Amino acid sequence: MREDDKSIHEFDFKLICEYFSSIERQGPGSPDATLKALSFIDNLSDESRIADLGCGTGGQTIVLARNTTGHITGIDLFADFINIFNENVSKENLQDRVKGIVCSMDNLDFQDQELDLIWSEGAIYNVGFERGINEWRRFLKPGGFIAVTEASWFTRERPDEIDRFWNDAYPEIDIISTKVGQIEKAGYMPIATFMLPEKCWTDHFYALQVSAQEKFLKKYAGNKAAEELVAYQRHEAELYRKYKDFYGYVFYIGKKI
Ligand code: SAH
């Protein structure tokens, strides 16, 4: 198997997590994009309960916390990310209202109608977009919001190479109108959608990986799995440069009906 034929799912989970622990974010995004999405949400107060699902080390959670006043629970499956998350929260002195918990997003421990807002950047793909928006809806109060980013096609047709790559990595990738239809069908009003600007991928994600890759390769010199992981990330970044007109992350914001 050529390394660029290998899907991200086939790499050692621990190794992936270590690699991504060393960078500020574990997926494309930016403080500006988080704030823009937040600007569509108008039901928040000191009493609000917010969940950030697949929060990673908390890049976007800290932005959310600085710009809201309610309580935020960060959820991630990977304990090392949650440890870093809780350290970052303490550094910002936000520990009274922000807490990271190790838990899977497909087995959440919230009460029905407990939450005012469900946030999830670059992570809903772990359960799948349609399943996530449907399963998580019951945790929201009526009128509560969901705001997620999801890999989406920008055009109905695209070159084979990128079509194959994404259909292997995440077959649920689809055009924006399909995703909006799924939001409506799941019982939300589609409040807004916007494409994440290119710099969310380049400056805020791939550029940060360059020095992390060098350090990682030094630490794991001769380790084939580590070398393949870095090669995969470089390949993904190269594909983005080549095909960024055809796909990207889109923020979807819905309001529970
Ligand atoms: N929101 C962060 C991280 C995105 S990467 C950011 O935008 O930077 C995706 C995250 O989902 C990772 O932190 C990964 O550990 C987490 N994850 C993967 N499967 C999960 C699951 N089943 N439940 C909760 N989190 C999960």
Ligand 1 center from residue 184 Cα (angstroms): 25
Categorize the per-residue pLDDT at 122 as very low, low, confident or very high, splitting at 50, 70 and 90.
Answer: very high
Ligand 1 center from residue 9 Cα (angstroms): 13
Ligand 1 center from residue 20 Cα (angstroms): 11
Look at residue 3 and tell me whether its pLDDT is greater than 80: no
pLDDT in tens, 46-96: 999 999 999 999 999 999 999 999 999 999 999 999 999 999 999 999 999
Residue nearest to atom 15 of ligand 1 (CA): 78
Ligand 1 center from residue 164 Cα (angstroms): 23
Categorize the per-residue pLDDT at 14 as very low, low, confident or very high, splitting at 50, 70 and 90.
Answer: confident
Ligand 1 center from residue 133 Cα (angstroms): 16
Q: CA-to-CA distance for 83 and 92, rounded, in angstroms?
A: 14
Ligand 1 center from residue 52 Cα (angstroms): 10
- What average pLDDT does the structure give for the chain? 94
Residues with CB under 6 A from ligand 1: 25-27, 29, 54-56, 59-60, 75-78, 81, 104-106, 121-123, 126
Look at residue 30 and tell me whether its pLDDT is greater than 50: yes
Residue nearest to atom 22 of ligand 1 (CA): 104
Q: What is the largest CA-CA distance in the chain?
A: 54
Residue nearest to atom 12 of ligand 1 (CA): 56
Atom of ligand 1 nearest to the CA of 122: 4
Give the residue with greater pLDDT, 126 vs 2: 126
Look at residue 1 and tell me whether its pLDDT is greater than 50: no
Pocket test for ligand 1, best of 77, 107, 131, 149 (most atoms within 8 A of CB): 77
Look at residue 229 and tell me whether its pLDDT is greater than 60: yes
The pLDDT, as a whole number, for residue 7 is 58
Pocket test for ligand 1, best of 76, 127, 209 (most atoms within 8 A of CB): 76
pLDDT in tens, 147-168: 999 999 999 999 999 999 999 9
Q: Which domains occur in the chain, in start order? A: 3-256 (3.40.50.150)
The pLDDT, as a whole number, for residue 6 is 56
Look at residue 114 and tell me whether its pLDDT is greater than 90: yes
